[in-house]
Amino acid sequence: MSHPCFVIIPLFIILQFSVIEFVNGGFSVNLIHKIPASASSLVSKDIPQSPTNAYLGHYLMELNIGTPPVKIYGIADTGSDLTWTSCVPCEGCYKQLNPLFDPTKSSTYSNISCQSDQCLHWLDTGKCSSNNQCDYTYAYASASVTQGILAQDTITFISATGKPVPLQGVAFGCGHNDTGSFNDHEMGIIGLGGGPISLISQIGPSIGGKRFSQCLVPFHTDVSITSKMSFGDGSEVTGDGVVSTPMVIKEDKTPYFVTLNGLSVGSTYLPYDSSSKSVSKGNMFLDSGTPPTILPTKLYEELVDQVKKMIALTPIVDDPELGNQLCYRTSTNVDGPTITAHFEGADVQLNPIQTFISPKDGVLCFGFTNTSSDGGIYGNFAQSNYFIGFDLDRHTVSFKPQDCTKQQ
């Protein structure tokens, strides 16, 4: 798999950190499945929040780990479960600008024993080290890998009122051999999927429920502009303009599966599968760790054809760096059509700011690509400028259009 960063390489070879294969009516996930963890109860009703900013095709989410708290910036990834960061020592790890987390400097850090339920049941590859530690290996579809020790420590959020919200005993991966196509700002991955080891599954019982919300700023936004991810009771997406679609529960609990009935380009409707009278439930999942939206080839080609018809510019055909992507030479945003994603019970309108991305100066490319499988992925380009709520208790995903650069 190639680097997931859209800005560095062409969209047609960008894939995600999580799942891509659709077989036997469900996605085949190249990840590890775990059991629930416990975290200490909150003494405050303040809503835990985390600053998030756009950087090179990913969203970097700030977490504070340890005592005293140390800031780490990990990829916010709703397509995987394990939260991990590179730890000292990490001689084989990719280059990072920020200091690595040093577990010896945290008074609340502890390794998880390899005889524990966490090691035995959470980690399919968990095994004992010579020091009775739980060694893990966690691999992603991008061919990136983290290897290290399963540990636990206090994670501290900052609430909207500025108060610290500490959560004790949160399990995470302390990576000592982390490889892959990460950039030097990325210190790990924050696993926000629905599996038992994910951050939200672990802390949900302590913060009023397994739910969280995000508002992702568009990638053209200055990197200094942050938005917030909110967790637990009070993070729900409510108010005028909210639409909701049901999550489709499958054996694999990590991805947030939803049903996409079709897409509209302006007034032209394109059914998800024109060869079938019924749409397969759970044919898409939302993944903040994947930049483009990935569609089955037939639907993607129909979509591109319709978009071309509604843009007056001539597509680029002579740039080998861009491959077969639909791209235009322009210094301003493309005057393109509104694309509506028709989820079950929820129509989500996408404007050019969410559907065209600049891989290099003077070029804008369509933020969709294709797969040979029957399932798709709703990527982070399309999720920007929407207040999106994931409610694991009620099994719903909610959308509300919002300028995320002005999120309070």
**Looking at the predicted structure, is the pLDDT value of residue 301 above 50?**
yes
For residue 48, the surrounding DSSP H or E stretch is strand 48-55
Q: 302-357: per-residue pLDDT in tens? A: 999 999 999 999 999 989 999 889 999 998 889 999 999 999 999 999 999 999 99
- Residue 406 backbone dihedrals phi, psi, to 5 degrees: -115, 20
Rounded Cα distance, 230 and 212, in Å? 5
For residue 364, the surrounding DSSP H or E stretch is strand 363-366
SS (H, E, C) 48-95: EEEEEEEECCEEEEEEEECCCCEEEEEEEECCCCCCEEEECCCCCCCC
Q: Which amino acid is at 377?
A: I
Per the DSSP assignment, residues forming a β-bridge with 150 are 173
Q: 151-168: per-residue pLDDT in tens? A: 999 999 999 888 999 999
| % of the chain at pLDDT higher than 90 | 70
**Looking at the predicted structure, is the pLDDT value of residue 187 above 60?**
yes
Q: Which one is predicted more confidently, 381 or 26?
A: 381
pLDDT at 122: 67
Q: 25-70: per-residue pLDDT in tens? A: 333 333 322 223 333 333 335 799 999 999 999 999 999 999 999 9
| Nearest C-alpha neighbor of 167 from the set 119, 103, 228, 231 | 231
Q: Which one is predicted more confidently, 221 or 14?
A: 221
Mean pLDDT of the chain: 86
For residue 368, the surrounding DSSP H or E stretch is strand 368-371
Predicted TM-score (pTM) of this structure: 0.88
**Looking at the predicted structure, is the pLDDT value of residue 83 above 80?**
yes
Per the DSSP assignment, residues forming a β-bridge with 155 are 65, 167
Its sign, for the CA torsion 41, 46, 47, 51, is negative
Asked if 15 contacts 289 with a C-beta cutoff of 8 angstroms, the reply is no
Rounded Cα distance, 110 and 108, in Å? 7
Looking up tokens 């909701």 gives: 244
**Looking at the predicted structure, is the pLDDT value of residue 79 above 50?**
yes
Rounded Cα distance, 67 and 146, in Å? 23
**Looking at the predicted structure, is the pLDDT value of residue 177 above 70?**
yes
Residue 220: count other Cβ atoms within 10 Å of its Cβ: 12
Asked if 37 contacts 31 with a C-beta cutoff of 8 angstroms, the reply is no
| Nearest C-alpha neighbor of 219 from the set 365, 88, 100, 118 | 365
Residue 104: count other Cβ atoms within 10 Å of its Cβ: 7
Instruction: Assign domain 237-406 to a CATH class.
Output: mainly beta
Strands 188-191 and 70-77: parallel
Rounded Cα distance, 114 and 171, in Å? 13
- Residue 356 backbone dihedrals phi, psi, to 5 degrees: -125, 130
Rounded Cα distance, 255 and 27, in Å? 9
Average pLDDT rounded to a whole number, residues 200-211: 95
Kindly state the DSSP code that residue 243 receives in the 8-state scheme.
E
CATH architecture of the domain covering 48-231? Beta Barrel (2.40)
**Looking at the predicted structure, is the pLDDT value of residue 300 above 90?**
yes
Residue 186: count other Cβ atoms within 10 Å of its Cβ: 25
Rounded Cα distance, 385 and 379, in Å? 13
Asked if 210 contacts 235 with a C-beta cutoff of 8 angstroms, the reply is no
Assign 324 to helix, strand or coil. coil
Q: Which residues are marked as active site?
A: 77, 287
Give residue limits of the domains in the chain: 48-231, 237-406
Cβ within 8 Å of residue 380, ≥6 positions away: 57, 58, 59, 216, 287, 288, 289, 290, 291
Average pLDDT rounded to a whole number, residues 80-108: 95
